[in-house]
Amino acid sequence: MSDDAVTARYSALHRLDSPANRLIRDTIWGRENDVGQQSFVTPRYLDELAGRIGLGADDHLLDVGSGTGGPAVHIARRTGCRVTGIDVNAVGVDAGTALAENAGLAARVDFHRGDAAEMPFADASLDAALSMNVLNVFPDKRRVLAGLHRVLRPGGTLAFLSGTFGPMDDATRTAMARGGRVPQHYDSLDGYRRMLGETGFVIEEITEYVADFRVQMTRWHDAYLAHRAAVAAEEGDQQADDHIAYFAAYLRLIDGGIAANHLFISTRSG
């Protein structure tokens, strides 16, 4: 996929209030649970995760792949911490900036357009980092993790949620590649374990999400199926069908024990 095509797909994903996206998000979340999240997490889950990380008013959190900024603003509002988001897409950064301003949190929440593989922050300048189902877009995850190790203070916490995958057949891999919003670079649970250790992190916790992950994936599948016409009007028939095939393939991988979603909580050593 060309860089222009990737940018277009990111931008389409981040236009939360386009007619198709609004229909899909209302179906999945309802207005009460929609904070602008692009992953599979609810506001309640974000609250629980912030508590597990131990975020407070004195902490500075980095949100890696901050998307449209909803989770960053939600966490800042609930914990009082400062949050900096980084995302490669300008549409997402602009949306996040507007959301923070509208929430009266512009002094504590800011967003940068940039590539997290470059990690444009000072050494040991952040207390914690969070990433919600974003690491799969990076072909070189080790580089991202090494950058996070550099910018976190010693003892700082890294928490990320990511899909984990075993081997898949060519047809399934093709369906996943065609239907995903952006190119995915899948890795295994053992792969993440290894990379965290190699980049200087001490793993504190790994938790697999099974039932709730499948529930959310089913909601995404059913929402795209229900609103296929609206998606096709914005993105074309082929892309609408590819999205539906993507979620259907993902569900087959979950049911076959090939795909899962894991939360990794680690601390920076050294």
Q: If you write DSSP's letter for every residue of 54-98 in order, what string do you get?
A: T--TT-EEEEET-TTSHHHHHHHHHH--EEEEEES-HHHHHHHHH
Confidence band for 256, pLDDT divided at 50, 70 and 90:
very high
> Considering only CA atoms, which of 191, 176, 177 is closest in space to residue 251?
176
Range of lowest pLDDT (31-40, 49-58, 182-191): 31-40
DSSP state, residue 208 = E
Residue 38 makes CB contacts below 8 A (sequence gap 6+) with: 13, 14, 67, 68, 132, 133
Q: What is the mean pLDDT of residues 114-118?
A: 93
Residue 267 makes CB contacts below 8 A (sequence gap 6+) with: 155, 156, 157, 158, 201, 202, 204
Residue 142 makes CB contacts below 8 A (sequence gap 6+) with: 195, 198, 199
Compare 101 and 35 and report the one with higher pLDDT: 101
Measured CA to CA, the distance from residue 191 to residue 243 in angstroms comes to 27
Compare 212 and 226 and report the one with higher pLDDT: 226
**pLDDT of 226 higher than 70:** yes
Class (C level, CATH) for 3-268: alpha beta
In 81-227, which residue ranges form alpha helices assigned H by DSSP?
90-102, 141-151, 170-179, 189-198, 211-226
Q: What is the mean pLDDT of residues 232-250?
A: 92
pLDDT of the residue at 199: 97
* Share above pLDDT 90 across residues of the chain, in percent, rounded to a whole number: 69
**pLDDT of 130 higher than 50:** yes
Q: What is the mean pLDDT of residues 57-72?
A: 95
Q: Could you give the 3-state DSSP secondary structure of residue 155?
A: strand
Confidence band for 1, pLDDT divided at 50, 70 and 90:
very low
**pLDDT of 265 higher than 80:** yes
CA distances for 106 relative to 26, 38, 103, angstroms: 26, 21, 8
Residue 118 makes CB contacts below 8 A (sequence gap 6+) with: 147
Q: What is the mean pLDDT of residues 48-60?
A: 94
Measured CA to CA, the distance from residue 270 to residue 267 in angstroms comes to 10
- Phi and psi for 143 in degrees, rounded to 5? -65, -40
Mean pLDDT for the chain overall: 90
- pLDDT tens digit string along 189-199? 999 999 999 99
Q: Where are the domains of the chain?
A: 3-268
Q: What is the mean pLDDT of residues 214-223?
A: 93
